[in-house]
């Protein structure tokens, strides 16, 4: 009997542990509609040659006009959202995922299903993809506890990707 109670307790922890990021307000939004207002933000840099081969961005410079893709997959591993975004003059991208839909409120949640990949750099002196913070494989998102509340009381959740980087072609 005690073993069954322990197993039930562990099962409860395992089910609730992966989803601590979903606030009560988020649950309400997710239950009301499958369309969720989501924004992904991040930075793109040119990694210094003296940091080549590491994930260090010390001495890096932001890249203006770099392109990144935000890709979301359904829990059935099918692409459910894909769009390319461009960085501003400071290397910052602000990606509003217009039309992003979740068919399953937990498995299709942006933290589990979306990632950011490097696409291109307009700077010829720094246009080689790096896998810093998984910029090639797909950087996962983190919840920064940032929210926007519109006049019609729709909540927008803001997620961040870790800084991504290109590198100069002459780095060896």
What CATH code is carried by the domain that includes residue 78? 2.60.40
Distant-in-sequence, close-in-space partners of 90: CB < 8 Å, separation ≥ 6? 62, 64
User: Residue 73: inside a domain, yes or no?
Assistant: yes
Which residue range forms the structural domain that includes residue 144?
A: 20-167
User: What tens digit of pLDDT does each residue of 70-116 get?
Assistant: 999 888 888 989 999 999 999 999 999 988 877 766 777 888 889 99
User: Residue 15: inside a domain, yes or no?
Assistant: no
What is the per-residue burial (b if ≥16 Cβ within 10 Å, else e) of 73-94? bbeeeeebbebebbbeeebebe
User: What tens digit of pLDDT does each residue of 84-94 get?
Assistant: 999 999 999 99
pLDDT band (50, 70, 90) for residue 152: low
User: Residue 133: inside a domain, yes or no?
Assistant: yes
User: Residue 61: inside a domain, yes or no?
Assistant: yes
User: Residue 106: inside a domain, yes or no?
Assistant: yes
């Amino acid at each position: 009997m005690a073993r069954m109670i322990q197993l039930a307790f562990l099962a409860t922890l395992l089910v609730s542990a992966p989803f601590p990021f979903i606030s009560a307000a988020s649950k309400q939004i997710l239950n009301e509609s499958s369309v969720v207002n989501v924004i992904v933000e991040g930075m793109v840099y040119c990694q210094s040659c003296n940091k080549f081969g590491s994930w260090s961005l010390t001495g890096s410079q932001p890249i203006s006009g770099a392109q990144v893709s935000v890709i979301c997959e359904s829990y059935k591993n099918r692409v459910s959202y894909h769009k390319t975004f461009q960085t501003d003059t400071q290397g910052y991208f602000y990606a509003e995922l217009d039309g992003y839909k979740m068919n399953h409120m937990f498995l299709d949640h942006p933290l589990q299903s979306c990632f950011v990949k490097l696409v291109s750099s307009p700077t010829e002196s720094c246009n080689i993809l790096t896998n810093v913070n998984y910029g090639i494989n797909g950087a996962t998102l983190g919840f920064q506890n940032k929210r926007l509340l519109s006049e019609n009381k729709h909540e927008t959740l803001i997620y961040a990707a870790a800084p991504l980087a290109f590198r100069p072609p002459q780095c060896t």
